[in-house]
Structure 1
Amino acid sequence: MNHNSQHFFPVAHNGVPPPHTYEMLKEEQEVAVLGAPQSSAPVTTTVINIRSETAVPDHIVWSLFNTIFMNWCCLGFVAFAYSVKSRDRKMMGDLTGAQTYASTAKCLNIWALV
């Protein structure tokens, strides 16, 4: 009984197949999935327009300024924290949450400045 194992992929020294093998298999899989059209019916397409990112100001520069120079009762630091939260929400695509945090940061910045 032979216990030698044969590899389907040529294996490099770290156990990962070379990239060209992966690309060939990926192309073969795409061809198998796409294939030829099964019917002669006209193909209809749908176009969805996605708006570009709406500008939500996060007031981070203003908050940083208030943190360094006008940090009365730590309002500048708290405003900076809300500005960072607003920027994080904007990066995640939650524009409503970003606007809420930005509004709070703006209010805190006004109070710190006054």
Structure 2
Amino acid sequence: MAMNPAGHLAEAVPMQGRYDGLPGQPGAATVVQYTTVNINSEPPKDHIIWSLCCFVYSNPCCLGLAALIFSIKARDRKVVGDLEGARHYASTARCLNIWSTVLASIMILISFIVIIVVSVQAHNAVRTYHSYNYNSRWNN
């Protein structure tokens, strides 16, 4: 194997079959095909941990479940050796995880805001009620 400047490995792979030389020449010639393998490409990430967290902790509109399914498909494609299919499924899982995380964060933020606003209004209502009762007792 030899490495070219682009970071690829070139390996000689014998072709299947046989090539018979020109008539009158003895023996057969072997044809060699050179293929390049990119050693810099990493297998795609399947985002399985992120998908599990989104499935367990934040699953709005079942996005966490869908992300988990696509992560498992990406892992299966990676194990089989179909890196392009694994990249496609991993990209979809990543997108679903992002949406799930953003929607869950927005829902948590809105919940905190609602709790704070209701608490402040309840406190003000109780304070107003007590001051009204206190003033009405002494004015009679």
How much has 1:54 moved relative to structure 2?
2.3
Q: Bigger radius of gyration, 1 or 2?
A: 2
Q: 1:93 aligns with which of 65, 81, 103?
A: 81
Higher relative contact order by CA 8 Å / sep ≥ 6: 1 or 2?
A: 1
Counterpart among 93, 97, 100 of residue 109 in structure 1? 97
Moved over 2 A (4+): 45-55
Q: Is structure 2 residue 64 aligned with structure 1 residue 76?
A: yes
- Matched length: 76
**Richer in strand (by share):** 2
In structure 1, distance between residues paired with 2:35 and 2:91: 31
Matches within 5 A, 1:19-98: 50=37, 54-98=42-86
Partner of 1:27: none
Do the aligned residues in 1 keep the contact of 2:43 with 2:83 (CA within 8 Å)? no
Q: Deviations over 1:33-90 (max 9, x none)?
A: xxxxxxxxxxxx9886755672310000000000000011110010000000000000
**Structure 2 residues not aligned, in runs of 5+:** 1-31, 103-140
* TM score, norm. by length of structure 2: 0.46
Cross-structure match for 1:19 = none
CA RMSD of aligned residues (A): 2.4
Verify the 8 A CA contact 2:67 2:92 in the aligned structure 1: yes
Q: Using the aligned pairs only, state the percent identity.
A: 49
CA distance in 1, matches of 2:44, 2:97: 16
TM norm structure 1: 0.55
Which of the pair is proportionally richer in helix? 2
